[in-house]
Amino acid sequence: MKLTRHLAAPLCALALTAPASATEGERIQITGEIIDTWCYFSGVMGGPDAVVGSAHHTCALWCSAGGIPVGLLGEDGEVYMVLKIEGDDQNASGDTNLNLASHEITADGMLYKRDGLNYLVVEKVVTDHGITNLNHEDYGVVPGFAIPDPKK
Amino acid sequence: MKRIIASALIAASPAAAADFSEGSTAKSWNLYAEAPAFFEAKVVDITCEVTGDCPDNCGDGNRQLGLLRAADGVLVFPNKNAQSGFQGATVDLLPFCGKSVEVDGLLIEDEDIKGASNIYQVQTIREAGTEDWTKANTWSKVWAAKYPEAKGKGPWFRRDPRVNAHLAETGHFGLGLEKDAELIKELFE
């Protein structure tokens, strides 16, 4: 059966949007902050500018240790869900993710895209810049209970 | 042929248009972009699904697990389990690795935040074709079994040995102990 113009268009759209399992990645180098994605995406602790950086560091540790997925918040504003870092595939509560919580890193690796999300396999942390987003100057500590009151 | 065209059109529709609220009894968390979502899916290792690197048993709890939704093939990312606090969903989903399940929870689709799409908070899970639901709240018990030396009062995240080692080394803001003491003094004076 020949494809008519009316049929061909949706089938082309299908080809573009259908999930492709285990797709080929694209090499990229990107700089950004290792964040906890649940707080960032859900807004449960506040707006996106408040749930990153030094203000949110303790919570980022809690979330990473608790198995919340970590992402790299790129300078382009995109979030790249981290699948591996330098061969460590323990992306649920792993030590490598925990050690980099809130750090700005420059990463070289492979980018995969699937159903609206970016996925990143970091083959090399080119530079670990440490914690550079000093947003505690604007937000204090987020959430407020992250630091127990020393007087109590 | 009509069926093929219909399938193509559904698959080509924006993900944001998907509504899986029918049949859901998920509890609201009063999140800005939450929507109740009940659907059937296969539990998969996300790294395997995306890159083709596939160890046994979905990575044995060390890897994030995903929900490959039956209705449209979309890979949904469960970021959170049903417990309040800071726990992901891997521990709760691992017993269902490779299985078809039904899940109920909250889907996050926030057009104002890049990447906030197909993010999920799973509240209950059951294997497809079975009756009994499992609450996605097992993380703390598994943590307690892993760190018996951390037994004590208060929530787990105040007692977690790995977290506390970081706090002892670089402080709550991650900027070093001297800076930490200075900031804490400012905060609580």
**Residues B112 and B158 both lie in one domain:** no
**B7 within a domain of the structure (yes/no):** no
**B2 within a domain of the structure (yes/no):** no
- pLDDT of A3 reads 36
- pLDDT of A24 reads 85
Between B6 and B90, the more confident residue is B90
Residue B4 has pLDDT above 80, yes or no: no
Residue B44 pLDDT level (bands cut at 50, 70, 90): very high
| Residue at a domain's end among B141, B162, B180 | B141
Q: Which of B32, B47, B49 sits opposite A91 (nearest CB)?
A: B47
Give B 76-95 residues with CB within 8 A of chain A.
76-77, 79-80, 85-91
- pLDDT of A22 reads 72
**Residues B134 and B157 both lie in one domain:** no
**Residues B131 and B40 both lie in one domain:** yes
Secondary structure (H, E, C), chain A: CCCCHHHHHHHHHHHHHCCCCCCCCEEEEEEEEEEEHHHHHHCCCCCCCCCCCHHHHHHHHHHHHCCCCEEEEECCCCEEEEEEECCECCCCCCHHHHHCCCCEEEEEEEEEEECCEEEEEEEEEEEEEECCCCCHHHHCCCCHHHCCCCCC
- List chain A residues with pLDDT less than 50: 1-20
Q: What distance in Å separates the CA atoms of residue B102 and residue B129, rounded to the nearest whole number?
A: 9
**Residues B101 and B172 both lie in one domain:** no
CA nearest A79 in B: which residue? B115
- pLDDT of A21 reads 67
Find chain B residues with C-beta within 8 A of A94's C-beta: 62
User: Best residue in A12, A57, A120 to probe B by mutation, most B CBs within 10 Å?
Assistant: A57
Find chain B residues with C-beta within 8 A of A57's C-beta: 172-174
**B4 within a domain of the structure (yes/no):** no
**Residues B53 and B125 both lie in one domain:** yes
Domain ranges of chain A: 23-134
Find chain A residues with C-beta within 8 A of B118's C-beta: 115-117
**Residues B93 and B32 both lie in one domain:** yes
Residue B21 has pLDDT above 70, yes or no: yes
- pLDDT of A10 reads 41
What is the distance in angstroms between the Cα of A108 and the nearest Cα belonging to chain B? 16
Q: What distance in Å separates the CA atoms of residue A130 and residue A141, rounded to the nearest whole number?
A: 18
- pLDDT of A83 reads 98
**B56 within a domain of the structure (yes/no):** yes
- pLDDT of A129 reads 98
What is the distance in angstroms between the Cα of B172 and the nearest Cα belonging to chain A? 5
Q: What is the CATH number of the domain that holds B81?
A: 2.40.50
Looking at domain A23-134, which CATH architecture does it have? Beta Barrel (2.40)
- pLDDT of A152 reads 76
CA nearest B51 in A: which residue? A22
With an 8 Å Cβ cutoff, are A83 and B47 in contact? yes
Average pLDDT over every residue of B114-127: 97
Calculate what percentage of chain B has a pLDDT beyond 90: 89
Between A17 and B134, the more confident residue is B134
User: How many domains are contained in chain B?
Assistant: 2
Domain extent for B153 = 147-188
